[in-house]
Amino acid sequence: MDFPAPSTTYPRAMRTTPQPRRRRDRGSGSLLRLVLVRVGLPALAIAIVASVAFATIPRPAAGTSAGADGGPPIAAERQSSLVPFADARDRLADENRPFVVTVIGDSTGDAPGEWVDLAFRQLAEETDRPLVQHSWDLVNSSYLPAVESNADAASAPLIVWNGSASGKTGEYSLAHFDTLVPAQPDLVIFNHGLNNVPKPAAVGPQLTALVAEVERYWPATAGFAAILENPRFDAWADAHRDVIDNVTSWLGEHSSVRSIDVHSAYLAVEPEALLLPDLLHPNPAGSAVTAATVLEALRR
């Protein structure tokens, strides 16, 4: 996606050229040491592998999204049939079944040490589950080999399909949906908005369409949450406030979707201190705040 910027410098989250994925050393800061949990990468037991295989079986045939009279597609506003977020989240209490989370978002959660990695490592520890993380490869438009941790845990695994894609909006997620969402999720967490600044009003319809796609394959099964993303203080700051307003309005129209207000969590402290010098992407302290806010939503 190409669009004009108000300055000659494009923020990293809005570049269209995929950046090489590399693991960043985030273990030197004292704050991060308090947040990161122990990482273990031994192979999972045979029973756990079987559980993962169960959670990655091919998707069912999708039901048609066209209207009964062949008219316009049915929108995702089957709100009465959406599973409340809390009901889906409570499946975590069943230690004998895998719990599957799909994250659909942007570069704020696409790398080790960022909020997706931090939050679900901690959740795996808290729930005594092995963690199996699949990270999206933007270059090949597919998932990288799984990374496993907390392998000695006794319960069924926590499986995370992290479809976070740097520089992308929900339009990209929709275009790659069949690959991005390969297995039936218990929870779907949307983390889009920072890259919607050229067209803030597009974010709501994109979220609606993503909900519709999940519901086409697995009706009344997944719980949904949407993150109000961290503030930005670069040249797109005003446009991003419009994005936040649009996501807030969308959440108000979708009562079954849990709001995860990372935006307010940043503003409650010193927000610029939680961002990298680009004034857009969270630094390690900011990623910790985002992860903690997501975990709070998963606990209540």
Q: What residue segments make up the domains of the chain, in order of their start?
A: 81-299
Assign 300 a pLDDT band (cuts: 50, 70, 90): confident
Confidence check: pLDDT of 80 > 80: no
Name 158's bridge partners.
99, 131
| Per-residue pLDDT, 81 | 83
Assign 178 a pLDDT band (cuts: 50, 70, 90): very high
Over range 240-248, report the average pLDDT: 98
| Domain 81-299 fold | Rossmann fold (3.40.50)
| Backbone Cα Rg of the chain | 18
Residue 99's SS3 state is: strand
Q: Are 273 and 285 in contact (CB under 8 A)?
A: yes
